[in-house]
Amino acid sequence: MNSYEFKRKDEVKLKNNKGGYFGKILHVDLSSKKIWTEQIDDKFAEQYIGGRGFAAKLIWDNLQKEGQFDPLGEKNLLVVAPGPLTGVYLPSSGKNSFATISPATGIYGDSSIGGHFGIEIRQAGYDAIAIKGKMEELCYLFIDNDQVNIVECPELAGKGNLETEGRIRDKLGDHDIRVASIGLAGENIVRFACITSDWSRNAGRCGIGAVMGSKNLKAIVVRGDRDLPVDDLKRVEKISNQAYRELAQHKMMNFWHRQGLMSVIDYANKIGILPTYNFHDVHFEKAEQINGFTMEANYKIGNTGCFGCPMCCGNINLAKEGKYAGTVVEGPEYETAAMLGSNVGIDDFAAILRGNHLCDDLGVDTISMGNLIGAIIDGYEKDLLSIDDLGGKPIGWGDAERILELIEQTAKCESIGATLALGAKGVLKRWPQLKPLINHVKGLEQSAYDCRGAASMALAYGTSDIGAHHTRAWTVGKELEMGADWGIEEKVNLVIYHQHIRSLFDMFGVCRLPWIELGFHEDFYAELFSAVVGKEYSLDDLLQKSEHIYNMTRSIGVKLGTTKTDDYPPPMAFEVPIHSGPLAGRVCDRDEYEKMLSLYYQKRGWDNQGIPNLAAEL
């Protein structure tokens, strides 16, 4: 077994930023086996902040250097970036961003992961990791503080994420070490393969696990023991103590501990946004069989939380009886329960647990998987697909065994799964007749929130820099609860604000949930960031930096082919009325959407085709 080693000897400190940064980006070229560090300066840190910001800049620079390339080729860059607040004493500071040119969409893509992985990267002394090239053999990258090794690991080929993490920890004799790995789906280049850490935390969107697989990179393993750089520790402690007190006293905290994001099933079903039968409906008659109360009563055995998080939204569930007895998993959360539940007609919570477990272990994004399976069932029922297209086996709504089989076939690229593994774009290339049934934007399958009743959510999906993902701007709840009399300007303003504040959270390396779920004020993060780096910033200062990052990622999209025609929600949003529930009969109004899109471009300072001025620099 071969190993390729690098040892860092130098230490760097930034002049103006007294805390927040180690001043180092770790670079790895798997083709040449070269490993080196790059020093960042104050200007870089202040302009891009960290996390998604550092990732966008590194990917931008790589595009300028390499030009256009195959996302699954050696020239593509995989960036792993925590933020300057990752691991700091404050609520929910466990986030880390993975970013690349997505093999699913062909444009910029990123996905964040919670848990503890990003903290370990910072404790090893790095602000980001940038990986390109391809190893001849399957390998993992082992970062042990200053010492970095590329370790060949053919024995891990075909292993699931759970076994991979356990075997690496056993081999290294350290069960506190942090591992981010891919399963069989990543090795087989499934276009929506994810990266998994801490057994069940997933960077699920944009197919970043497929990029790891294309590089023969099975895992990134990190061990670090440095203290994190903080300028004013007493100020941080004071601010964070107050933050923890406020969150602990919130009236919803106890309920949040009980159900976490599973509480959203009932909420979404009530207000009419729960994807049901491939988004044809938004109200599931059997929602109570897959909701948080069913979970509490029959399956939940514990809680987990990311670093520093008082919300502890991870539900550990066990199927105690029946055909799926013994299945244990951290999950599901709302997206998984909806996309592997109501969207495919499954009303058996234990079957959803099994699907969740398979996706975690095989390394498959549950949102994309449930979306595509829903479209296949829909297409088969509408006679748009034949029994031969399905590999000789029929499928119907709620057919749990067949749906679970499709998950495995997709990860293995077998039978119909070989087509599903290509993602929305690949499926449509083979079966263009499914275009009205596959809900995606820019090639990224839609998240589990219907947008026909909330025009701002349609705009959020349409204008998202990565495709139809709710974490870019989740505006649907606020519009349905408060926006009955809003004009288009209020809706556009809300979308832009969400796109900026949520980007900022990813740049900091913190979770959005205290803000969006418990109403925690955004100014807290500006004050905390100022205390950590030793320089004062207002929230407006930071949002301007976030806006610049959004312009960068949009410009990358434009460089790689994004046009105005890509800035629309799926056709179903305009063409298929909601069947039941409080929003029955609703569709998106196309004229209203066109006005909103034009105003959106105007407010962003883009031209009438959605091209930022910044795009000319790329």
Report pLDDT digits (tens) over 45-63: 999 999 999 999 999 999 9
Are 112 and 25 in a shared domain?
Answer: yes
Cα(263)–Cα(30) distance, integer angstroms: 43
Number of domains in the chain: 3
Are 356 and 399 in a shared domain?
Answer: yes
Mean pLDDT calculated for residue range 478-493: 91
Q: Is residue 242 part of a domain?
A: no
Tell the residue number behind the tokens 């990266």, with chain if given: 195
**353: confidence class by pLDDT, cuts 50, 70, 90:** very high
Identify the domain boundary among 223, 243, 270: 223
**519: confidence class by pLDDT, cuts 50, 70, 90:** confident
Identify the domain boundary among 413, 445, 477: 445
Are 459 and 436 in a shared domain?
Answer: no
Q: Is residue 244 part of a domain?
A: no
Are 430 and 460 in a shared domain?
Answer: no
**153: confidence class by pLDDT, cuts 50, 70, 90:** very high
For residues 96 and 81, is the Cβ–Cβ distance under 8 A?
A: yes
Token digits of residue 3: 């190993």
Identify the domain boundary among 414, 445, 476: 445
Are 285 and 378 in a shared domain?
Answer: yes
Asked if the model's pLDDT at residue 585 lies above 90, the reply is: yes
Asked if the model's pLDDT at residue 11 lies above 60, the reply is: no
**517: confidence class by pLDDT, cuts 50, 70, 90:** confident
Are 263 and 208 in a shared domain?
Answer: no
Are 434 and 475 in a shared domain?
Answer: no
For residues 376 and 394, is the Cβ–Cβ distance under 8 A?
A: no
Query: 366-381 and 400-412 helices cross at what angle (nearest 10)?
Result: 120
Q: Is residue 228 part of a domain?
A: no
Q: Which residue has the higher pLDDT, 597 or 305?
A: 597
**10: confidence class by pLDDT, cuts 50, 70, 90:** low
Q: What CATH number is attached to the domain comprising 552?
A: 1.10.599.10
The per-residue pLDDT for 6 is 66
Domain that holds residue 94: 3-223
The per-residue pLDDT for 582 is 93
Give the rounded distance of the alpha carbon of 552 from its chain centre: 19
Cα(16)–Cα(46) distance, integer angstroms: 9
Are 214 and 313 in a shared domain?
Answer: no
Asked if the model's pLDDT at residue 14 lies above 80, the reply is: no
Cα(327)–Cα(349) distance, integer angstroms: 11
Asked if the model's pLDDT at residue 156 lies above 70, the reply is: yes
Q: Is residue 213 part of a domain?
A: yes
Neighbours of 521 (CB within 10 A): 13
Residue 265 dihedral angles phi and psi, to the nearest 5°: -55, -50
pTM, whole model, 2 decimals?
Answer: 0.96
Mean pLDDT of the chain: 95
Q: How large a percentage of the chain has pLDDT more than 90? A: 93
Are 284 and 323 in a shared domain?
Answer: yes
Of the ranges 203-207, 254-258, 489-493, which one carries the lowest mean pLDDT score? 254-258
Q: Is residue 246 part of a domain?
A: no
Q: Is residue 239 part of a domain?
A: no
Are 437 and 566 in a shared domain?
Answer: no
The per-residue pLDDT for 9 is 55
Q: What CATH number is attached to the domain comprising 427?
A: 1.10.569.10
The conformation of residue 554, written as its DSSP 8-state character, comes to H
Are 486 and 576 in a shared domain?
Answer: yes
The per-residue pLDDT for 483 is 80
Are 123 and 77 in a shared domain?
Answer: yes
